[in-house]
Structure 1
Amino acid sequence: MTKPAFVTCDLLDDHPTTAIQVLTPSLDGRFFQSYGARKSFYGEIVTVKCFEDNSRVKEVLATDGQNKVLVVDGGASMRCALMGDMIAESALKHQWSGVIIYGCVRDVDALAELDLGVHALAAIPQKSNRQGIGELNVALRFGGVTFNPGHYIYADNNGILVSAEALLK
């Protein structure tokens, strides 16, 4: 097994004077879980805000994502998934480091085989309805953290960090 490129605990310890936000681990009893094969991932933040419509998620993950992480504010909906195996495969093909979804995913066994970081609140087999609705590259806020496009995110099994400046070179 390959050692992760970083550990979020160590990043916090190594940057005591840097303003780093730490995502609250429990949101009304909901916890982010890791679903992808890549257990630690980081990159520049790209955002999508959508509710039960993954049209924009699919569109964005079909673009160049090298050194980027998509953060999706799905309003914590537990009624449908905002990403499944086909969209995740597209993300991998376009070199995204990972996806963090404030909502659900599906096809979890397939996601577990893909070298993509995936954190979400839960899994559900129901797909979303695509109506072309959603906002791109807007500031998002959940878990006590503000996710600004162009800032940096670091995620592993210990948690999720956000910083305005790059912590890894």
Structure 2
Amino acid sequence: MTFATCDLCDAHEDKLAAGTLHVLPPIFASFGRKQSFCGPARTLKVFEDNVLVRATLETPGQGHVLVVDGGGSLRCALVGGNLAQLAQDNGWAGILVNGCVRDAAELNACEVGIRALATHPQRSFRKGAGDADIKVGIAGVAVYPGDWIYADVDGVLVSRSAL
């Protein structure tokens, strides 16, 4: 699918005004070989623990975007090169992390789109805590399972329906 977030915003000003289309703040860095990606959201809420992230990426992605609400933590990474490879191998369209990633060179070699706040060399804890398929908050925007995520070089959009 070819799209431009700028064009989507222009074409759907009514949805922006109605609050069914949101533009995330421009705080996310881009990783992975796919500069543009979109798909329905699968959501996780974790904090400095990536066990659920791995378990989810081990399942068939079917073109979905994994949205990880990591609470905005900048103290460790939730996604690294091995998980990006899982995402690529299992058909995920992309990953959006409200937190950090690591292994940037490995991420950039994968055919998947990734957005995250920053890089951090330390891996996360592995306790298995968190929730899946719930409403999460990403940079002040609510994201529900099934919402559509559109990301390209200009930004990231969250839409209640496919555009």
Give the TM-score taking structure 1 as reference length: 0.91
Alpha-carbon shift at residue 78 of structure 1 (Å): 1.0
Structure 2: distance between partners of 1:84 and 1:67: 20
Moved more, 138-147 or 36-45: 138-147
Which runs of structure 2 are paired with 1:10-159 in the superposition (5 Å)? 10-18=7-15, 19-25=20-26, 31-159=27-155
Q: Once the two structures are superposed, what CA deviation does each residue of 1:47-106 show, in whole Å capped at 9, x if it has no partner?
A: 010001000000001111112000001111111100101111011111000000000000
Query: SS state of the match for residue 67, structure 1?
Result: coil
Query: SS state of the match for residue 48, structure 2?
Result: coil
Given that 2:63 and 2:93 are in contact with CA atoms closer than 8 Å, whether structure 1 keeps it comes out as yes
Structure 1 ranges of 4+ moved more than 3 A: none
Structure 2: distance between partners of 1:24 and 1:110: 26
Task: Write the letter of the residue equivalent to 2:100.
Answer: C
Q: Once the two structures are superposed, what CA deviation does each residue of 1:24-66 show, in whole Å capped at 9, x if it has no partner?
A: 22xxxxx210011100100000001000100000000111111
Alpha-carbon shift at residue 10 of structure 1 (Å): 0.6
Q: Once the two structures are superposed, what CA deviation does each residue of 1:101-149 show, in whole Å capped at 9, x if it has no partner?
A: 0000000001111110000000011011111111001101132311000
Structure 1 unaligned blocks of 5 or more: 26-30
More helix by share: 2
Q: What is the aligned-residue RMSD (CA, Å)?
A: 1.1
Query: SS state of the match for residue 106, structure 2?
Result: helix
Give the TM-score taking structure 2 as reference length: 0.94
1:9 alignment counterpart: 6
Structure 1: distance between partners of 2:21 and 2:81: 31
What is the identity percentage for the equivalent residue pairs of Structure 1 and Structure 2?
47
Structure 2: distance between partners of 1:83 and 1:142: 16
Structure 1: distance between partners of 2:5 and 2:120: 28
For residue 156 of structure 2, the aligned residue among 117, 140, 160 is: 160
